[in-house]
């Protein structure tokens, strides 16, 4: 009987020890899983902070009329983390400017290239100090929301090429814009009208668009 009691006692001790180890393993696994989830969540939040648009990628053609005339072609991907813009605009009869704005995600990888300035060939590129406001593609969508509501009145919604955009008008009445997924698809600003002519879905910006144009030099 004593031997039987000893065997039962040892079995209980071993069972308790194994159970404790299993609990520790489960607890460790849960902690590792929680840590991993927290890290992933923080990366997601960082990525969302860098996302300007609510649409992943696309190619847009805009037209300027009024005080300015010309066109603007835009390629973007990664929700606006990378943007390439080609502007060909007459700001006046004598001031014809053609510019290529390349925002590749960091200022070190980005370029601004001038084809024409006041109608004269420049053919030079330089690295920007900060991200160009033009590459944000909106006068309205990326500022302080309270400030926007204070300075502008909502106009409801309007359809542009099948895209439902929300309208804003400055309280002074001289600036009106229509925003779709963080992008101005149309605006009127003190005699200048800009409107989207086309939108095309793309997978990503063609890599050749990030290259310095042939025959250009970097300042």
CATH code for position 143: 2.50.20
Inter-residue long-range contacts of 114-119, CB under 8 Å, 24+ positions, other chains counted: 115/213, 118/94, 119/94, 119/95
In the chain, the largest separation of any two C-alpha atoms, in whole Å, equals: 111
- Strand 175-180 relative to strand 82-90, pairing: unpaired
Nearest in space to 117 (alpha carbons), one of 130, 141, 100: 100
Q: Give the CA distances from residue 195 to residues 40, 72, 89, 182, in Å, rounded to whole numbers and listed in that order.
A: 39, 10, 14, 15
Domain check: are 46 and 66 in the same one? Answer: no
Domain check: are 27 and 79 in the same one? Answer: no
The total of other beta-carbon atoms located within 10 Å of residue 209's CB is: 15
DSSP state of 79: G
Domain check: are 79 and 176 in the same one? Answer: yes
Q: What integer pLDDT is reported at residue 152 of this predicted model?
A: 87
- Strand 120-126 relative to strand 217-218, pairing: parallel
Domain check: are 98 and 137 in the same one? Answer: yes
The CA-to-CA distance between both ends of the chain, in Å, stands at 95
Q: What integer pLDDT is reported at residue 124 of this predicted model?
A: 97
Domain check: are 98 and 125 in the same one? Answer: yes
Q: What integer pLDDT is reported at residue 98 of this predicted model?
A: 98
Give the total number of structural domains in the chain: 2
Final residue in a domain of this structure, among 9, 26, 50 = 50
pLDDT values of the chain reduced to their tens digit, one per residue, 219 residues: 544 444 444 444 445 555 555 555 555 555 556 654 544 444 444 444 568 899 999 999 999 999 999 999 999 999 999 999 999 999 999 999 999 999 999 999 999 999 999 999 999 999 999 999 999 998 877 665 666 777 889 999 999 999 999 999 998 888 999 999 999 999 999 999 999 999 999 999 999 999 999 999 998
Residue 116's Cβ-count burial label (10 Å; 0-12, 13-18, 19+) is middle
What secondary structure does DSSP assign to 166-179, as a single string? EEEEETTSSEEEEE
Q: What integer pLDDT is reported at residue 80 of this predicted model?
A: 94
DSSP state of 39: H
Domain check: are 22 and 89 in the same one? Answer: no
Where do runs of H (alpha helix) occur along 55-178?
Answer: 145-151
Domain check: are 173 and 137 in the same one? Answer: yes
Final residue in a domain of this structure, among 10, 34, 50 = 50
Domain check: are 25 and 8 in the same one? Answer: yes
Q: What integer pLDDT is reported at residue 202 of this predicted model?
A: 97
Q: By residue range, what is the domain housing residue 68?
A: 58-218
Domain check: are 34 and 62 in the same one? Answer: no
Domain check: are 7 and 96 in the same one? Answer: no
Q: What integer pLDDT is reported at residue 51 of this predicted model?
A: 80
Domain check: are 62 and 29 in the same one? Answer: no
Domain check: are 103 and 175 in the same one? Answer: yes
Structure tokens at 44: 């997601």
Q: Is the dihedral of CA 135, 73, 212, 112 positive or negative?
A: negative
């Amino acid at each position: 009987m004593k031997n039987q009691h000893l065997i039962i006692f040892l079995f209980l001790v071993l069972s308790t020890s194994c159970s404790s180890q299993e609990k520790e393993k489960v607890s460790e696994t849960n902690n590792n899983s929680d840590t991993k989830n927290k890290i992933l969540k923080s990366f997601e939040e960082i990525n969302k902070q860098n996302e300007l648009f609510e649409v992943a990628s696309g190619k847009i053609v805009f037209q300027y009329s009024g005080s300015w005339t010309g066109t603007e072609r835009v390629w973007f991907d990664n929700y606006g983390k990378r943007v390439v813009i080609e502007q060909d605009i007459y700001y006046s009869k004598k001031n014809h400017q053609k510019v290529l704005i390349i925002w590749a995600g960091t200022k070190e990888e980005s370029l601004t290239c001038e084809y024409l300035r006041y109608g004269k060939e420049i053919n030079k590129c330089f690295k920007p100090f900060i991200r160009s406001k033009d590459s944000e593609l909106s006068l309205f969508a990326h500022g302080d929301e309270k400030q926007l509501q204070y300075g502008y009145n909502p106009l409801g919604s309007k359809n542009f090429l099948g895209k439902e955009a929300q309208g804003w008008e400055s309280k002074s009445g001289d600036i009106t814009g229509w925003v779709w997924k963080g992008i101005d698809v149309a605006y009127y600003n003190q005699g200048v009208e800009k409107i989207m002519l086309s939108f095309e879905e793309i997978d990503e910006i063609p890599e050749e668009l990030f290259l310095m144009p042939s025959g250009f030099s970097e300042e």
